[in-house]
Amino acid sequence: LKEAPVSELHDLLCKKLQQCCILFDFLDCVADLKGKEIKRAALNELVECVATNRGILIEPLYPEIIKMISVNIFRTLPPSENPEFDPEEDEPNLEPSWPHLQLVYEFFLRFLESPDFQPTVAKRYIDQKFVLLLLDLFDSEDPREREYLKTILHRVYGKFLGLRAYIRKQCNNIFLRFIYETEHFNGVAELLEILGSIINGFALPLKTEHKQFLVRVLIPLHSVKSLSIFHAQLAYCVVQFLEKDATLTEHVIRGLLKYWPKTCTQKEVMFLGEIEEILDVIEPSQFVKIQEPLFRQVARCIASPHFQVAERALYFWNNEYILSLVEDNCHAVLPTVFGTLYHVSKEHWN
């Protein structure tokens, strides 16, 4: 591609794209090594070419580009061999064809980020069906693949205004299926990272659709067993919402209290962390609405026999801003916690 005269460049580019539609079996790592190397080199050239040349992306190339990408990335993901796969403990199954797949993703990203990229042309090919297939790939066990998918979907969401509502709706469906049906989806954290940037960019006043997403999806997400894998991203989304619209605070706090873990202390520590993040941004006028039910729960945590839970709850008093809120409202807060504090100071084993 580098040496080709400009007149022949587009034809050559087209041929290389078609060449890269050939798929190889990486499970048999000795099979067809020569062919694999030819494709790897061709993909490298394509990445280089789109990344460095201007005026390359002419309209007729768009369908060829999308076809090559689709043929390579859209596939049925292998079933997780270990049904008891614990994302926190076990090593994920990495994608065997990664040597090629990575370059296809890299090429796709360069294509989307090229100054010559035209969404008006690309939207014929990057449509709702394409996006649905892309979202399915977020269930891949390979974190490297999910990282690329996250960046790609973030760019697609940004550049294709007509797809935004559809993407939000499909993410909704993935989360709801995850919460209420399968409790198994590998890309929840990545999707929440994208949603964090979307929430951050919401216009005010918030649309009802967005508030419903908080109430119907983000809060119930706290009830899932594998919360620890995506809690940081989930808490970030919740806090983004409250910074956008503080009137949602009461609903969020009551939702967390409703889903408060009863038997998983690790989750309880996460919930306390999230509560502190919320209190860090809370308006005093909102604090007074939830102080009593909230500090009744904090008091229960202080009395927890699990010392990490008790410690994390007591740690609220190390936060200057929370301290000032409690001081301003000690007539309401003190009665809910003092009895427990006194009892714990005498009886707690640790």
Partner 1 sequence: PQKKKKPKLPKSPAPHFAMPPIHEDHLEKI
Contact footprint for partner 1 (CB under 8 A)? 150, 154, 157-158, 161-162, 164-165, 193-194, 196-198, 200-203, 232-233, 236, 243, 277, 280-281, 320-321, 323-324, 328
| Rounded Cα–Cα distance for residues 252 and 275 (Å) | 10
CB nearer partner 1, residue 48 or residue 277: 277
Secondary structure (3-state) at 266: helix
| Rounded Cα–Cα distance for residues 275 and 256 (Å) | 8
Asked whether 142 and 95 are in contact (CB, 8 A), the reply is: yes
Q: How far is the CB of 68 from partner 1 (least distance, A)?
A: 27
Q: How far is the CB of 10 from partner 1 (least distance, A)?
A: 32
Q: How far is the CB of 299 from partner 1 (least distance, A)?
A: 23
CB nearer partner 1, residue 94 or residue 165: 165
CB nearer partner 1, residue 317 or residue 342: 317
Neighbouring residues of 311: CB distance < 8 A, sequence distance ≥ 6: none
| Rounded Cα–Cα distance for residues 21 and 64 (Å) | 10
Amino acid in the structure at residue 147 = E
CB nearer partner 1, residue 199 or residue 313: 199
Q: How far is the CB of 283 from partner 1 (least distance, A)?
A: 8
Q: How far is the CB of 169 from partner 1 (least distance, A)?
A: 11
Q: How far is the CB of 239 from partner 1 (least distance, A)?
A: 8
CB nearer partner 1, residue 63 or residue 158: 158
Give the N- to C-terminal CA distance of the chain in Å, as an integer. Answer: 69
Q: How far is the CB of 212 from partner 1 (least distance, A)?
A: 13
| Rounded Cα–Cα distance for residues 165 and 184 (Å) | 24
Q: Which residue has the tokens 């490298």?
A: 44
CA torsion sign, 165 to 167 to 169 to 171?
Answer: negative
Distances, alpha carbon 91 to alpha carbons 41, 80, 86, 321, in Å: 30, 12, 9, 41
CB nearer partner 1, residue 196 or residue 255: 196
CB nearer partner 1, residue 46 or residue 253: 253
In 3-state terms, the chain is what percent helix, strand and coil (to 5)? Answer: 70, 0, 30
- C-alpha 333, offset from chain centre: 36
Q: Quickly list DSSP for 164-209.
A: HHHHHHHHHHHHHHIIIII---TTHHHHHHHHHHHHHT--SSPPHH
Question: Which stretch of DSSP H or E encloses residue 251?
Answer: helix 249-258
Q: How far is the CB of 87 from partner 1 (least distance, A)?
A: 16
CB nearer partner 1, residue 53 or residue 172: 172
Q: How far is the CB of 74 from partner 1 (least distance, A)?
A: 24
Asked whether 50 and 107 are in contact (CB, 8 A), the reply is: yes
CB nearer partner 1, residue 65 or residue 171: 171
